Amino acid sequence: MNDRKIIFKELKKLMNESTFNELKCRDCLKNVPDILVDLKIFDNISFETETPSYCGNSDLLIKVDGKDDHEQPEKIAYLWEIKSPQLPIFQTETKHRIRPTNHLYEAENQLINYYSNIINDETFRDRLKTSRYNVKFGGIIIGRRDKLVSNKHNMQDVKGNYNIYKAIRSEYFYKHNNIKLYNWDDILDQLSREIHEKKYIKSNISFNEKSLIDNLDISEHIEVSISNN
């Protein structure tokens, strides 16, 4: 399965289920690992799950054959931690402050421990054929837009506080190491943009094309205008 429209539809279905299904959601990413790397141009990309290390198995390792600033080949590895879309990301602490849930704390702790272990494991780096400087943080994928904050009944502006706290956490914890915090709707947004750019490159689209978008249930993630034929 490598058609992004099919992947979009399957992932959205999994996100709307009531049961925790992070492994099935992770499997969807196998077909689109390029959306989780910083490089825009690369030769090969591969996807590895449950990579063993001294302190446990990392959820997702993406390996890329890219080029350095001097156009010389180099191998880069990105580490990601995956949590279920059904899990909240933050929870209220006061009416005006939120904090990470234990699920996010766990993902952060796993990510930094796996990263530290791998960059200091020469045998592992030899297997990847890369240097410690080319093992990079990818980030964390957890939750969805209607699961941003739990215990939110006491908070006046849930979305506003979420955006503020995420920005604070990014500024002081994530940005320095280029760690990304995504929810699963962010992944859907990226897929829908790519579908839109490749398949629906014109600003005006025909009725049949719009019907296809509706059937795929991606219309809420992209902006389109309809031309009258």
Cα separation of 148 and 154, whole Å?
Answer: 15
Question: Would residue 123 count as lying in a domain?
Answer: yes
Question: Would residue 92 count as lying in a domain?
Answer: yes
Cα separation of 50 and 58, whole Å?
Answer: 5
Question: Would residue 215 count as lying in a domain?
Answer: no
28-83 pLDDT per residue, tens: 998 888 889 877 667 788 888 888 777 788 889 999 887 767 777 888 999 999 99
User: Which pairs with CB-CB distance under 8 Å and at least 24 residues apart come from 122-130?
Assistant: 124/53, 128/63, 128/75, 128/77, 129/75, 130/74, 130/75, 130/76, 130/77
Question: Would residue 155 count as lying in a domain?
Answer: yes
Cα separation of 181 and 183, whole Å?
Answer: 7
Mean pLDDT computed over 124-130: 84
Question: Would residue 74 count as lying in a domain?
Answer: yes
Question: Would residue 197 count as lying in a domain?
Answer: no
Cα separation of 67 and 75, whole Å?
Answer: 8
Other C-beta atoms within 10 Å of 189: how many?
A: 17
Question: Would residue 40 count as lying in a domain?
Answer: yes
* Percentage of the chain lying above the pLDDT 70 cut: 80
Question: Would residue 194 count as lying in a domain?
Answer: no
CB 90 within 8 A of CB 149: yes
Cα separation of 189 and 148, whole Å?
Answer: 16
The CA dihedral of 41, 62, 38, 129, to the nearest 10 degrees, is -70
> What total of structural domains would you count in the chain?
1
76-123 pLDDT per residue, tens: 999 999 999 999 999 888 877 889 999 999 999 999 999 999 899 888
Q: Any residues with CB less than 8 A from the CB of 176 and at least 6 apart, and which?
A: none
Residue 144 sits in which domain range? 4-187
